[in-house]
Structure 1
Amino acid sequence: MSQVFFDHNSTTALKPEVLEAMLPFMVEQHGNATSRHSFGRNARAAVEHAREQVANAVNAHPSQVVFTASGTEANNFAIHGIASNLCHGQILTSAVEHPCVSRPALAMQSRGWQARSVDVDAHCKLDLHHLYNLLATPTNLVSVMLANNETGVIQDLAEISALSRHHKALVHTDAVQGLGKIAIDFADLNVNAMTISSHKIGGPLGAGALVMDKRVDIQPLLHGGGQEKGLRSG
């Protein structure tokens, strides 16, 4: 009996054209993108070309894109990295966030932060009245996913962002499930940071990105060779 895969919200098969584009770098071109010789320069050019492609896909500038090893890492980077450069306060996440957002927020409580959850209504849309009430307490970071991985509900990020930013909070969204399914415009969403991942859209496992605007001052999670402008070594 043939099997049919109905779990593309969890992962997707690697597209043949993606494999074709990747193969030269897996079997022929071995340069380290931080090396100064020609092999390294070629690798660096390929990385920067990929950065431009990602930026164009979400209407961002290439300088706003920081590559990570996964969407989970990018979400942890956003929560921990942004909070680490802010005064202790409140972090708000929706009640239907992926654990790679809700658990990092809860983990920040051990560092003096308060993590609270914003209710959703019967249709899994964020309760804006509850968000407004929670924002009465000084809030530094709000994280709400763009599209839910289980229900498919798409949140009104522009409205959520406007309300949150009116209260001086930075806004992050996990847009992993939206990329490739709905049009995503980083500027129109009015968020400060956005997570995306490749393996949800026919790309390889082990590749994600955090897109950030100039208001975000973020601490790296990983330290080493200073790749990604010193924000994500490795």
Structure 2
Amino acid sequence: MTPAPRHVACVMDGNGRWAESRSLPRTAGHRAAETTVIDVIEAARGAGVEWLSLYAFSTENWSRPSNEVDYLMRLVRSVVRKHAALLHARGIRCRFLGVADPRIPAPLARDFADLMTLTRTNRRMTLTVAFDHGGRGDIVEAARSLIRSGVSADAVDESHFAAHLPFPDTPDVDLVIRTSGEQRISNFMLWQVAYAEWTFPSVLWPDFRAPHFLECLHTYQQRKRRFGGVPPHANGESRT
């Protein structure tokens, strides 16, 4: 059996459809997602997951209606302020991946920075919230950083490149969970998910709970991760 994943990432999909199926405004789905976020954080911590990454807002999400974007900014600030003490008490180190667009309200950016400062020495689990994040953008910025640092083209390898990504100590993602049944990468942590396993539970994110999360971990553990290789018996070698 494959060991439990060290790094799990979640694409939190389905909030709008959850609301629309109940004849509610899309914002109601985002509000309902708060309970799921806390439940998944607690489930991951209890299961021994060391790194949990949540895709909260992409660089492409700025194209959504302005009233929805404004609501999301207010909601995220409320959630951060409401749960900061709990996250710190649980020994969770919090990080925010992205947060570069000037359209992010200054009070929200300060709350992000304050939470990172508050929890920076915690090591029970690292929670990375991808907010204003785009995987392609991270790769472009890493390339720019390499060029500025004066590294010669012949000296660039994967380890050099990865060292210039945001939070370079972040390990590769082992498992990505994308709720709602959609099967897309959506520009999420493109470098880090290169060899991740994926699961696509059909449940919408606001209905996703700890048992669903643990079921995804169990599914992951049933898989054989070969990283491009083949099992020994495929080459005519003994199975023992």
TM (norm. structure 2) is 0.28
Q: Which structure shows the higher helix fraction? A: 2
Bigger RCO (CA 8 Å, 6+ sep): 2
